[in-house]
Structure 1
Amino acid sequence: MDYELRARPDTCHWGYFDNQLDPVLRVESGSVVRVECLSHRAGDAPDLMMNDTVLAVYESLNYDERGPGGHIVTGPIAVKGAMPGDTLECRLLGVEYPLPYGSNLAAKWGWLYTQGETPLKTSEYVTIYKIDGDAAIPVFQYPWPSGRNSRKGDLIFPEDVTRLPCTSYRVPLRPHLGICGVAPKMRGKVSTIPPGVFGGNVDNRHFMPGTAMYYPVQVPEAMVFMGDTHLAEGDGEVSGTAIEGHLTVLVQLALHRQWTVPGPVLETDEAWMVHGFGETLDKAMTDTLERSLRFLKSRGLDEAEGYALLSAGGDFQITQVVNSIKGIHAVIPKKLFNHDTKE
């Protein structure tokens, strides 16, 4: 580890990216950084999901100035020498769990809220999970209390609600960064909710230890933010949130100057995943397909070859449907290529 970035009131921001912020850390390409990331849902069970570090950030970030998004992000980290046109690699090397609890909010921005034919159409509720070995188990639920803000980290104490027991089941832990990316081009506060070409709230559950996400640098020194850490998530994130929990992550940040990506691209041992976005799933599908063709062109395939390859050997999966902008990612197996180099 070359650097450590603690979560403090002066290193965390609630609900926005801003390319005009001064960096809280400046690193060289290739550096390994240990970063503390805090969940914006700790207020759902402050007796279980808050320690002194979390409480200090919650108490210090002005409630009225939180937003326009709903996430806590740590950063920005400046990468020396990074310029627009470069690609930034964020390789996730490992994670630690500062506290063994997480929260899922079935939220008013979830897929079934205001639609469908179930009681979920008009209700929000919280499920608190506890880490148990390699899984998370539900501990209790409660309906979200009327008049409280589910975006700004309101503290819901045990006496404020009736905590109801849950049916027992186990969700395998899949720890990952829901938010990571470079600062967007747009000046001023940019909401953390919709993802974009810069990355941000991509919410790909596959961004786990041992994988790397690549982002096209938008501004000088890249200005990297990360947060919205998850203990587990399913494709779609249909209720509006994952199992949201604090993670301390170990990442390596590296620049690539001779290789350009068309947007966030995840690399696993087996595949490349190219992300696209849109106001509807149809538009997200088109965007993902077009970005995938550009990615394949960088690997030597023309559009006709790439289109055929994606139809015959690629898989398109829903990343999430709840971040205002919908997300789809193309899974392109590495075994489709004779070799795998970034030249």
Structure 2
Amino acid sequence: MLHELPAITRNVHWGYFDAALAPALIVESGDFVRAEAITHHAGDAPDLMMDDTVRALYDTIPESDRQPGVHLMTGPIFVRDARPGDLLEVRYLQMNPRFNYGSNLAAHWGHLFTDFDKERVTIYELDQTSNTAHALYAYDYPGKYLVPGKRSEVRDCCRELALEGIRVPVRPHLGTAGVAPDVAGRVSTVPPGAHGGNIDNWRIGAGSTMYYPVAVDGGLFSIGDPHVSQGDGEISGTAIEASLNVMFQIVLRRDFTFPSPLLETPDYWIVHGFDEDLNIATRNASRDMLLLLTERQGLSRDDAYSLMSVAADFSVTQVVDGRQGIHCKIPRSIFPPKKQPRA
């Protein structure tokens, strides 16, 4: 069955996951969902990145209720019969930009903020025929970017040309998606964790599949923080933040378990490690890759450890979410067919 999940007030929550949230949608395993994911940066260029639907969300949800995190989330989705210990397999099928514009903020949480001592917004325009984006203009943000969804009026900004002649590849993806953690109260959307959350891996796009460990009945899956392009590291603090229309299928899995968000693409298996210390995040990703290779591919620990060193690539996913991210990918092509079961 195909369900529609529009971004209207009753279907969104701003800045948090919460196990006590009432579901916006109830689905069966195998159902499809077409959902609207709205960026919390639409206010950076309201003339280009807002329509009546987006404007209504910004007008309706008070600033005091946009916390403790920052991301505007659509959901949650309750999956019938999902229980703690299960996995939600989310097959991302389509991610289409809602508008032809997006925003990148060089923020006060960016890795080099002290080198610049200011916050700056660069607005990008998408060219969907060439699947690229180019900078349309930039401006220094007036004041400090403290309230999610604050609107920058045109009259308050000095728009300047930026990055003339440069185009970047468009690769739509979700920066933040996941299930509700099994804790009381609101959980910030900013740090990633076992539940998913703000992973900020640009490979979580159309054609990929994510596996999220279920922590509460129904899973309570939500999506948000849509991007159209990002580099590994997300060094300035944000990606090209832009609203997306997303279609995905949710399948309940009980035939295997995994302790952290697991990503499957046509070419790679990718595990994620998180911590405030990148060395510890790397160790966490290493242990999860070791688990994947031994439990899912049947390798001995010794063989898996050797293979990781010669064939797996470790990269910094992001350094700007407080809890930093490392991802480790291993090519699927190196395994013989019998070692390639779908997870």
2:246 alignment counterpart: 249
C-alpha contact (below 8 Å) 1:259/1:342 kept by paired residues:
no
1:314 and 2:328 are equivalent in the alignment: no
3-state SS in 2 of match to 1:224 = strand
Equivalences for 1:266-281 in 2 at 5 Å? 266-281=263-278
The CA distance in 1 between the partners of 2:87 and 2:310, in whole Å, is 28
Deviation at 1:283, TM superposition (A): 1.2
Q: Give the structure 2 partner of residue 334 of structure 1.
A: 332
Aligned-residue offset at 1:159? 0.2
Could you tell me how far 1:337 is from its partner in structure 2? Answer: 2.1
Question: What is the CA–CA distance in structure 1 between the aligned matches of 2:21 and 2:262, rounded to whole Å?
Answer: 25
Q: How many residues are aligned here?
A: 337
Question: CA contact under 8 A between 2:97 and 2:172: conserved in structure 1?
Answer: no
Corresponding residue of 1:206: 203
**Residue 162 of structure 1 aligns with which residue?**
158
Residue 31 of structure 1 aligns to which amino acid in structure 2? D
Q: Deviations over 1:103-144 (max 9, x none)?
A: 000001111112xxx4x2x11100001111311110111111
TM-score calculated relative to the size of structure 2: 0.96
Aligned to 1:33: 33
TM-score (norm 1): 0.96
In structure 2, the residue matched to 1:136 is 133
Following TM superposition, by how much is the alpha carbon of 1:167 offset from its aligned partner in structure 2, in angstroms? 2.8
Letter in 2 for 1:123: K
Q: Does residue 1:76 correspond to 2:83, yes or no? A: no
Contact 1:262 1:295 in 2 (8 A): no
Structure 2 unmatched ranges of 5 or more: none
Q: Name whichever of 149-158 and 46-55 sits farther off.
A: 149-158
Matched, 1:123 2:118: yes
For residues 50 and 59 of structure 1, the distance between their equivalents in structure 2, rounded to whole angstroms, comes to 12
2:189 to 182, 187, 192: 192
Specify whether residues 282 and 110 from structure 1 end up closer, same or farther in structure 2 by C-alpha distance, changes over 3 A only: same
* TM-fit CA distance, 1:187: 1.6
SS at match of 1:33: strand
Structure 1 residues 302 and 187, CA gap change in structure 2 (3 angstroms): farther
Shift in Å at residue 215 of structure 1? 0.9
SS at match of 1:88: strand
Say if 2:104 and 2:123, in contact at 8 Å, map to a contact too: yes
Q: Using the aligned pairs only, state the percent identity.
A: 47
- Counterpart residue number, 1:263: 260
Give the distance between the partners of 1:48 and 1:60, measured in 2 at CA.
20
Cα distance in 2 for residues equivalent to 1:102 and 1:167: 15
Structure 2 counterpart of 1:126, which letter? V
1:16-31 counterparts in 2 under 5 A?
16-31=16-31
Q: CA deviation at 1:278?
A: 0.8
Partner letter of residue 184 of structure 1? P
CA distance in 2 between counterparts of 1:17 and 1:135 reads: 33
Q: 1:53 matched to which residue of 2? A: 53
1:254-298 per-position Cα deviation (integer Å, ceiling 9, x unaligned): 111011112011101111000010111111111111111122222
8 Å CA contact 2:96–2:172 kept in 1: the answer is: no
- 8 Å CA contact retained: 2:107, 2:145: no
Q: Which one of 279, 283, 294 corresponds to residue 282 of structure 1?
A: 279
How far has the Cα of 1:342 moved from its partner? 4.1
Tell me which stretches of 4 or more aligned residues in structure 1 moved more than 4 Å: none
Counterpart for residue 109 of structure 1: 109
**Separation in 2, partners of 1:308, 1:185:** 36
Contact kept, 8 Å, 1:262 with 1:294, in 2: the verdict is no
Kindly indicate whether the alpha-carbon contact (under 8 Å) linking 2:134 and 2:163 is maintained by their aligned counterparts in 1.
no
